[in-house]
């Protein structure tokens, strides 16, 4: 029994270390992550508008590189920036909430400019919503 | 011809009465929830909730995307989405309710109005009636709303395994904080387009 004790102890320590690592695992680094899809904001919105269920299966939780024209730019009290991209429908947009865990190249965007952003797709309410976005 | 005119006139009247019906609207509402259990405190924030208040009827609605809740720890977020909320199958949570005191609130007069809201909250595909007390703040024609309430995890058929039963509270606190904008301009655009 004594012979195996140190192996069991070692296994226990390894298990605990793995658990600790998993528990404190950082969020996905969007900057380094490979994009699953690359498309225009108009295309993304129209995909969701045409078939929400299918688009949910296709896009939810995926990293999407989206390009489009800035229709709106705002910052809330806590400094979180949000860019709304043109969806082809003036009532709605593709809302991109910028990531507060990543470093950004700039903190101001102009309405009308063309940008390329990358973020995680969370679905559609009235607008398609991407979170943790960065500019690329 | 006369009939045509009447139809046209009543249509215009209908449109203008629509314009009068004010709506307050937001697509950047903040919904926070916290679970304060024996072993762990868990918090998550969603800053992209949509909400509409219809002044004429007192109706108030909220919608959030479950996957847009941001947690401090990646693992918690993963478990929340995959094991508990099953957000691939149920991507949204929706609340539809009424502000009980709506008729006595002057949405054009600055003030702090205590309100109570009752309605149906749908999470994880389950709908339950909830009741919340909150405050409506009107300032310079802008409306903001704050409310707190609690929901029971079991009410929404969210199964918590025994191993983590001391890590996740049975009752979760939900905090709502929304700054609204007047919807008038948008509806004018819409009617102009038709």
pLDDT digits (tens, 9 = 90+) for A52-83: 999 999 999 999 999 999 999 999 888 889 99
Return the structure tokens found at B71. 């947690």
Q: What is the pLDDT of residue B188?
A: 43
The angle, 0 to 180 degrees and rounded to 10, between the axes of the packed helices B184-193 and B2-20 is 160
B72 at interface of A, judged by CB pairs closer than 8 A: no
DSSP letters for B139-185: ETTEEEEEEEEEEEGGGGT----GGGTTTS-SEEEEEEEEE-EE-HH
Angle at B101 between CA B96 and CA B105, to 5 degrees: 110
Q: Does residue A89 come out as left (phi exceeding 0), alpha (psi in the -120 to 50 range) or beta? A: beta
CA dist B66 and B92 (Å) reads: 6
Closest Cα of chain A to B68: distance in Å?
6
> Min CA distance, A26 vs chain B (Å)?
6
CATH of A37-135, one of 1.10.240.10, 3.90.1150.10, 2.40.50.140, 3.40.50.1370: 2.40.50.140
Lookup: tokens for A63: 């990293």
Judge: A129–B92 Cβ closer than 8 Å, yes or no. no
- Touching check for B122 and chain A: CB below 8 Å? no
Count the domains in chain B.
Answer: 1
Searching chain A, which residue's CA lies closest to the CA of residue B94? A125
Structural domain includes residue B72? yes
CB contact, 8 Å: A123 with chain B?
yes
Q: What parts of chain B have a pLDDT lower than 50? A: 18-19, 186-194
CB-based contact, A102 to chain B, within 8 Å: no
pLDDT of residue B192: 40
A131 with B67: Cβ contact below 8 A: yes
Residue B62 forms part of a structural domain = yes
What's the pLDDT at B194?
35
Per-residue confidence (pLDDT) for residue B10, from 0 to 100: 62
Residue B158 belongs to domain with CATH number: 2.40.128.110
Domain ranges of chain A: 37-135
Q: What's the CA gap between B186 and A90, in Å, rounded?
A: 9
**Cα torsion through B188, B191, B192, B194, rounded to 10:** 160
Residue ranges of chain A with per-residue pLDDT less than 50:
none
Nearest by Cα to A19 from B83, B164, B173, B191: B164
Q: Can you give the residue range of the structural domain that contains B105? A: 22-193
Write down the ipTM of this complex.
Answer: 0.87
């Amino acid at each position: 029994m004594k012979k195996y004790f140190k192996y069991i102890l070692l296994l226990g320590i390894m298990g605990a270390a793995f658990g600790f690592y998993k528990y404190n695992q950082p969020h996905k680094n969007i900057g380094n992550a490979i994009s699953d899809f690359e498309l225009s904001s108009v295309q993304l919105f129209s995909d969701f508008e045409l078939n929400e269920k299918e688009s949910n299966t296709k896009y939810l939780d995926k990293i999407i590189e989206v390009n489009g024209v800035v229709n709106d730019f705002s910052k809330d009290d806590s400094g979180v920036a949000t860019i709304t991209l043109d969806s082809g429908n003036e009532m709605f947009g593709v809302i991109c909430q910028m990531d507060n865990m990543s470093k950004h190249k700039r903190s101001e965007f102009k309405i009308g400019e063309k940008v390329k952003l990358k973020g995680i797709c969370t679905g559609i309410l009235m607008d398609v919503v991407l979170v943790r976005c960065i500019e690329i | 011809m006369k009939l045509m005119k009447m139809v046209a006139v009543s249509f215009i009247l209908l449109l203008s009465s629509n314009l009068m019906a004010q709506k307050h609207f937001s697509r950047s509402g903040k919904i926070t929830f916290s679970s304060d259990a024996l072993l762990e405190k868990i918090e998550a924030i969603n800053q992209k909730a949509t909400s509409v208040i219809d002044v004429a009827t007192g109706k108030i609605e909220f919608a959030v995307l479950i996957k847009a809740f941001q947690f401090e720890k990646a693992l918690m977020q993963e478990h929340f989405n995959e094991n508990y909320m099953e957000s691939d199958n149920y991507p949204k949570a929706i609340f539809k309710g009424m502000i009980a005191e709506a008729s006595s609130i002057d949405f054009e007069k600055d003030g702090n109005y205590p309100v109570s809201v009752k309605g149906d909250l749908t999470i994880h595909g389950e709908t339950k009636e909830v009741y919340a007390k909150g405050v409506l703040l009107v300032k310079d024609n802008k409306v903001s709303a704050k409310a707190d309430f609690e929901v029971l995890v079991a009410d929404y058929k969210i199964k918590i395994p025994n191993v983590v039963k001391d890590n996740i509270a049975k009752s979760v606190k939900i905090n709502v904080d929304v700054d609204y904008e007047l919807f008038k301009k948008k509806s004018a655009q819409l009617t102009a387009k038709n």
